[in-house]
Amino acid sequence: MSHSLPELPYSPEALAPAMSRETMDYHYGKHLKTYIDNLNRLIPGTPFEDATLEEMILKADGSIFNNAAQTWNHTFFFNTLTPTPVDMPQALKTAIERDFGSVEDFRTEFLQAAATLFGSGWAWLSADKDGRLSISAESNAGNPLRHGLRPLLTADVWEHAYYIDYRNRRADYLAAWWNLVDWNIVAGRL
């Protein structure tokens, strides 16, 4: 099965200035496209030729894992953003207050995990099989599905996600990213 670049749910300039058109052109149009092109080049003739991205995340290693997970992670990341500010739905707020104390405590803890992740990777909010929420940081292409968790939200902290707009200021990028999150979509994954 051939994998293709997913459609963005907004126009490429819609998230500016928090995320510029130039960042989208590189991050979505070049980095994500390259992971997908690599994956399509790697899988023919392997057991993953007809596998879903989730199956490859759970079972593959090396280059196939890296490119499949980066395809999944970026699709999930871009699909969770919106140019229109969204209030957090009550059900999600209640779950966050139960597991982190308050939305503000959750924001602080999540952004801290993302800001302090050493090198390239992703910060995640996930739910376990009982619906308990947790924050984790994964290096490189890491994904909580590998740990039996259900991802709800992710922040990309690879330098390519922020270097055009924020240079080395990862914390500034994360503060702007927070305001782009579509909390309705996050709540829908609960």
Shortest Cβ 74–Mn ion spacing (Å): 6
30 DSSP 8-state letter: I
Q: Do 137 and 158 contact (CB within 8 A), yes or no?
A: no
Do the beta carbons of residue 141 and residue 73 sit within 8 Å? yes
Nearer to Mn ion, 138 or 156 (CB): 156
- CA gap 38, 124 in Å, rounded: 24
Instruction: Decide if residue 158 touches Mn ion (CB under 5 A).
Output: yes
Determine contact, residues 19/50, Cβ cutoff 8 Å: no
CB of 100 to Mn ion, least distance (A): 25
Nearer CB in complex with Mn ion: 99/172: 172
Which span (80-88, 105-113, 125-133, 151-159) binds Mn ion, by CB under 5 A? 151-159
Of 112 and 120, nearer to Mn ion (C-beta) is 120
List the one residue from 96, 155, 156, 177 that touches Mn ion (CB under 5 A): 156
Query: Using the rule CB under 5 A, is 182 a contact of Mn ion?
Result: no
Give the residue with the Cβ less far from Mn ion, 73 or 136: 73
Phi, psi of 24 (to 5 degrees): -65, -40
166 makes contact with Mn ion (CB under 5 A): no
**Minimum distance from residue 98 beta carbon to Mn ion (Å):** 31
Nearest approach, Cβ of 122 to Mn ion (angstroms)?
A: 8
Calpha distance 120→139 (Å, rounded): 6
Candidate segments 37-45, 80-88, 153-161, 170-178, binder of Mn ion by CB under 5 A: 153-161
For 97, phi and psi rounded to 5 degrees?
-65, -35
Q: Which own/partner pairs from 107-112 qualify as long-range (CB within 8 Å, at least 24 positions apart)?
A: 107/178, 109/135, 110/135, 110/153, 110/155, 111/155, 111/171, 111/174, 111/175, 111/178
The CB-of-168 to Mn ion minimum distance in angstroms stands at: 16
Residues that bind Mn ion (CB under 5 A): 156, 158, 161
